Structure 1
Amino acid sequence: MKNNNRLSILITALCIPALTGSNAFAQDNGQSAPYVEGARVPKGYARPPFHVKPHASTAAVVGLTPATVRHAYGFDTITNQGDGMVIAIVDAYDDPKIESDLGVFSTQFSLPACTTANGCFKKIYASGSKPRADSGWALEMALDVEWAHTIAPKAKIVLVEAASNNFNDLMTAVDVAVKNGASVVSMSFGGSEFSSEGSFDSHFSTSPGVTFVASSGDSGYGAEYPAASQSVVSVGGTTLSIDAYGNYIGESAWSGSGGGVSAYEAEPAGQAAWPVPYAGNRGIPDVSYDGNPNTGFAVYDSVTYKRQSGWFQVGGTSAGSPQWAGLFAIANSLRTAAGKAKLGGTYNALYTAGKSAYGSDYHDVTTGSNGTCGTVCNAAGGYDYVTGLGSQQAPNLVQALVAQP
């Protein structure tokens, strides 16, 4: 194992800008300044790693549509749509219009209605009290909820709103999500690693039958938490290429994809079976998904963000976490139908499932980079620290996960 102190110093020197001025969140009361896309936050706090592609008007749909994305990654060939599963979305602060916005999105793209009234949607305040509204986090929630529903339209969605972006409040929300029956928890948030982050790992490691998914970050090379946890599936970002019919052509690493080597977390067993430059240390991410805002996703959000509301085109690794959560919901639904337990320790299962049939379970992303640090910053064949194992070939990977013991 590499020396963690030396690795921590290297990561800090190369990757983490000063956390001061308008790019930082206030630390005295957990309240945030206006969200700055791509900016890091003080240790112990998290921010949503999304990016918006600017448009002159948000009155018309912009960005990739559900039908296009489902076809590109192969979800449209899977009959199961997450039946009987609960996907929990954990974010900070409040989106007061999330249910109505989900309704607009679902109607626009002919997705099943997902409402409180029909039992599909539920919003919970983790602290018991309604948090203040936050426009940046509201756009994150719209992205998360709408695109989890896109991938697994028949799964129930529980949105758990943390009181603030402080990790203590966010982990409280994670616990509430598990208590409300989630088989998969999506966490599109993260912050720079910190020496005591391991104290939060028990929130993920002590919940059998629950898969935790987190975005790897959107500032390029650098490890973030909770993506760095050994018990969390970390999702990096790519640039997706498709033809005029939505057929998959290929992917390259997105320059903003968070990734690298953890300074504090040890390498989990599944990753240890793959050759990596820093054996013994946790590599991030595990997998990837389209994250470039120029190839971003259509999101409807009526909460005003940067003086706009309506349709946005949104990217960032935020987009991958809820969509991978949808994939796990589908796999769990099929496992339940087969009399098997829901996936637990999913992190290792991803590496095991892909080992024997790598070329058919994953799209191997071999070009692009997220920095100038050499090998660790470059996408390559097999596993790499920018795109992980790659993006899913959904029909094959789902069956491989269903086949796991």
Structure 2
Amino acid sequence: MKTAYGLNQLTTTGIGQTIAIIDAYGSPNITNDLNVFCKQFGLPSANLTIAYPKGKTQTNAGWALETSLDVEWAHAIAPNAKLLLVVAKSASTSDLLNAIDYATSQGAQVISNSWGGSEFSSEASYESHFQHSGIVYVASSGDKGSGVEWPAASPNVLAVGGTTLTLDSNNNYLSEIGWSGSGGGLSTYTFMPSYQSNWSSIVGTHRGVPDVALNADPNTGVAVYDCTTYNGQSGWFEVGGTSFSAPVWAAMIALANQGRTSPLTGINTITDLYNLAGTTGSVGYTTNYHDIIQGSNGYPAQAGYDLVTGIGSLKANNLVLALTKAY
């Protein structure tokens, strides 16, 4: 992943940054699992804090695997960032929002959410949870193809979709297409934010999802270690989904923050990511992004912004440096 997206060309490692990861139920084995993952890939030991704002709860095998995925890969991309795993007592919206609020109160600079649910008519009333200076909120767009989930639909949240990534034998980037499972489409309740105004021909009057993308196809998935038995298996898994691409983008934000005098902030950062793309085929676009023009989730990928991959996947060696200098 680091070679494919240019992360291996960066010198920043997340020093001084805190990445908060929001998961329901958590994993009783996450400390051990993360240590095994670090040993396997030669990573430094992680600075991991686990918080249970509403107390510990029962184990859920699916969420345990999700927790391992999020924590291990945030650490892989930003190995010197502090990790704050905030465990929601359940997968209810209220418990997950409580976990987000806790992470906000603890000084995290970026908060990753690999969860989502159906949109609802009162979702705008929850925007205050994602509007805090010096914090970027990130959410996966979903793994069910066309359709919009919340909180990815929030205009204050960076929505991350999915691709199918092809590499050569040396892990160099060859191509990407939109992943068929990538959540995406037009929000039912949120109107087009100003940062999507260049793409009104695609989104019309409503918010388009996702904003950006990254490898998410389980067939081109990544290694995750989880010793909690899931579907009769434990140990090493190959895992995909936008719940992978979201924490990787969150870790990338932490890398950019390391070189800044003040941390990036939510909607300002999303606006800058769009501005750094500019228009289809511009120098900024080709410098900072892989514009993904093939594939479909029900909506077609195409040149410029689309409802499968947003403005595309990152060329981190350029985009992280650009974000370091932003506003």
What TM-score comes out, normalization by structure 2 length? 0.96
Q: Could you tell me which residue of structure 2 aligns to residue 238 of structure 1?
A: 163
Please identify runs of 4+ aligned residues in structure 1 that moved more than 6 A: none
CA distance, structure 2, for counterparts of residue 318 and residue 357 of structure 1? 27
State how far apart, in whole Å, the 2-side matches of 1:160 and 1:108 are. 25
Q: Which amino acid aligns with 2:19?
A: I
Aligned-partner Cα distance in 1 for 2:270–2:168 = 32
- C-alpha displacement of 1:275: 4.1
What is the CA RMSD across the aligned residues, in angstroms? 1.0
**How far 1:340 moved relative to its partner?**
3.7
The answer (yes or no) to whether the contact 1:238–1:290 under 8 Å persists in 2 is yes
Instruction: Note if 1:394 corresponds to 2:312.
Output: no
Rg larger for: 1
Picking from 156, 176, 183, the partner of 1:258 is: 183
Question: What corresponds to 1:381 in structure 2?
Answer: 303
Q: Following the alignment from structure 1 to structure 2, what is the Cα–Cα distance between the partners of residues 222 and 105?
A: 33
Gaps of 5+ in 1: 1-68, 115-119, 372-376
What amino acid is the match of 1:239? T
Task: Say whether the 8 Å CA contact 1:84–1:155 is kept in structure 2.
Answer: yes
Deviation at 1:341, TM superposition (A): 4.0
TM, length-normalised to structure 1? 0.78
Partner of residue 326, structure 2: 404
Alignment of 1:24-39 (within 5 A): none
Identity of aligned residues (%): 51
Q: After superposition, where does 1:107-118 map in structure 2 within 5 Å?
A: 107-114=39-46
User: Does residue 1:342 correspond to 2:264, yes or no?
Assistant: yes
2:226·2:237 contact (CA, 8 Å) conserved in 1? yes
Give the C-alpha shift of residue 402 in structure 1: 1.4
* Equivalent in the alignment of 1:153: 79
CA distance in 2, matches of 1:113, 1:341: 25
- 2:91 pairs with 155, 165, 171, which one? 165
Which of 38, 48, 52 is the aligned partner of 1:125? Answer: 52
Is residue 17 of structure 2 the alignment partner of residue 90 of structure 1? no
- Cα distance in 1, alignment partners of residues 136 and 109 from structure 2: 6
Deviations 1:280-327 (A, max 9, x none): 210000000001001000000000000110000000111000000110
Give distance in 1, aligned partners of 2:263 and 2:73. Answer: 25
2:159 is aligned with 1:197:
no
Amino acid in the other structure paired with 2:271: N
**Amino acid of the residue matched to residue 401 of structure 1?**
L
Query: Secondary structure of the equivalent of 2:2?
Result: helix
8 Å CA contact 1:266–1:280 kept in 2: the answer is yes
Partner of 1:78: 10
What's the secondary structure of 1:384's corresponding residue? coil
> 1:128-182, CA deviations, whole angstroms, 9 ceiling, x for partnerless residues?
x102110000100000000000110010000000011111110000000111111
Aligned-partner residue type, residue 78 of structure 1: L
Cα distance in 2 for partners of 1:284, 1:305 equals 30
Please give the alpha-carbon distance, in whole angstroms, between the structure 2 residues aligned to 1:312 and 1:78: 28
Amino acid at match of 2:312: G
Counterpart residue identity of residue 185, structure 2: G
Instruction: After TM superposition, give the deviation of residue 200 of structure 1 in Å.
Output: 1.6
For 1:234-287, what per-residue CA distance to the aligned partner results, in whole angstroms no more than 9, with x for missing partners? Answer: 010100000000000010011000000000011111111334323221000000
In structure 2, list runs of 5 or more residues that go unmatched: none
The equivalent residue for 1:6 is none
- Would you say the 8 A contact 2:116–2:149 is kept in 1? yes
**Structure 1 residue aligned with 2:297:** 370
Q: 1:220-231 residue pairs with structure 2 within 5 A?
A: 220-231=145-156
